[in-house]
Amino acid sequence: MTKLSVNINKVATIRNARGNNLPNLVQFAKDCEKFGAEGITVHPRPDERHITYQDVYDLTNVVKTEFNIEGFPNTKFINLVLETKPAQVTLVPDPPGVLTSNAGWDTLKQKDFLKEIIKEFKSNGIRTSIFVDTEVQNIENSADTGTDRIELYTGPYADNFEANPQLAVADFTAAAKLASSFGIEINAGHDLNLNNLNYFKNNIDGLLEVSIGHALISDALYLGLEKTISEYLSCLK
């Protein structure tokens, strides 16, 4: 079964709007796990506009499932990951000030950069994943970085799903097969939701994990957190 990792950035956004501890981010992570989530994802950015670096430290000894830290590997981020030692680190090519992660790595141009960072994380027992699109070149060069996994950037899939699901998923199916042929495991994330998740899962062989935040938190405003997580888990069965 594909694991569901809940990205709790949006919960931190709501909390930060009032400058206090409501909602309580740590308790929210605990509740996600209690209701069946198999992982917690956070993405601290340099401006700490949602998840703060202190949040990561606070969650480190609380998360009992899989803790996944996403972000651009600058020095501060690398040190944070090495100090907290999550189950997984997902490297994302976010430029400063970006609203959300909307592109994968150019794994040819950035190969040496990624290779060095991945080697350091893996030597510390941290599983690595890199955020990539479905371009054949980027999949092929991912293998040379030494990464354990790739996270397929599913924004284009979500954008085209309603018009033609079969066409929307085709490149992702091919990319996953290519990655698997190199021994790379598959994660996915970005704009996956209750409408498009099950179809994606059923067309991606070996999909190990999806990271979902914005849509899941938005659904929870209407359905409640427990029911929302249950429905997302049902999509992954």
Which positions are catalytic?
43, 70, 190
For CA atoms 229, 169, 41, 100, the dihedral sign is negative
What is the rounded distance in angstroms from the CA atom of residue 193 to the CA atom of residue 190? 9
Count of other CB atoms within 10 angstroms of residue 234 = 11
Select from 147, 170, 192, 206 the least CA-distant residue to 5: 192
Are 211 and 199 within 8 A, CB to CB?
Answer: no
What is the rounded distance in angstroms from the CA atom of residue 41 to the CA atom of residue 51? 10
What is the rounded distance in angstroms from the CA atom of residue 56 to the CA atom of residue 64? 14
Contacts of residue 234, Cβ cutoff 8 Å, sequence gap at least 6: none
**Token pair belonging to 234:** 């049902």
Contacts of residue 53, Cβ cutoff 8 Å, sequence gap at least 6: 44, 76, 80
For residue 222, the number of C-alpha atoms closer than 13 Å in the C-beta half-sphere is 5
Count of other CB atoms within 10 angstroms of residue 214 = 16
